[in-house]
Amino acid sequence: MDGLKGFPQAIEAAFPQTRIQTCIVHLLRHSMNFASYKDRKAVAAALKAIYTAVDAEAAELALAEFEDSDLARRYPAIAPSWRRAWNEIIPFLDYPPEVRRLIYTTNAIEALNSKIRRAVRTLGHFPSDDAAAKLIYLALNATSTEWKRSVREWHTVRSQLAIMFEERFPMT
């Protein structure tokens, strides 16, 4: 998720076993809004130690180290924004690095949602739910032809997800 109010609750209501995590890229961009241009590389490197940590404890230590740094004193709004989102960051840390590369951003999902919204907006209203579902299907079908790249190391990612979510990830 990327901070939309009420969205996590709506997703959990529809899909009770969902793990909610924040979009790391959006959190980084938010953090960079507080940093001056000359310090952005240093801030990004310091924050990278948090989201690339091996587990939640190591990430907590990296965040505490950032909070004690000169960068955090110079930009006091960054660390609290990570603390506020902490419960949505730590689920990300449960995944192995191969899966993290796939899920650290919601940009692909947002791009797909944009295509669907654009298709739905042209008609405005639908005579039935079936008509809306058909239009969404056609929009998804048309969009899938634009996808040029496959997921890097998909077989490794799929194996990791199958191990983590054995009961929900059929190997067919």
Domain-by-domain residue ranges, the chain? 7-94, 107-164
Query: Does residue 35 contact residue 78 with C-beta atoms inside 8 Å?
Result: yes
Q: For 49-84, write each residue's pLDDT tens digit.
A: 999 999 999 999 999 999 999 999 999 999 999 999
**Dist. CA 32–CA 170, nearest whole Å:** 40
**Dist. CA 90–CA 43, nearest whole Å:** 20
Neighbour count for residue 27 (Cβ, 10 Å): 24
Which contacts (CB < 8 Å, 24+ apart) does range 93-99 have? 93/51, 93/53, 93/54, 93/55, 93/56, 93/59, 94/19, 94/55, 94/56, 94/164, 95/160, 95/164, 96/160, 97/52, 98/153, 98/156, 98/157, 98/160, 99/157, 99/160, 99/161, 99/164
Q: Look at 11 and 39; give whichever has higher pLDDT.
A: 39
**Confidence category of residue 3, pLDDT binned at 50, 70, 90:** low
Predicted pLDDT at 171: 60
- Spatial neighbors of 11 by CB under 8 A, at least 6 apart, are 1, 18, 20
> The tokens of 162 are what?
């199958």
- Whole-model pTM above 0.95? no
Query: Does residue 32 contact residue 42 with C-beta atoms inside 8 Å?
Result: no
Percent of the chain with pLDDT over 70: 95
- Residue 151 φ/ψ, nearest 5 degrees: -70, 130
What type of residue sits at position 105?
T
Q: For 11-32, write each residue's pLDDT tens digit.
A: 888 888 888 888 888 899 999 9
Residue 122 has pLDDT above 70, yes or no: yes
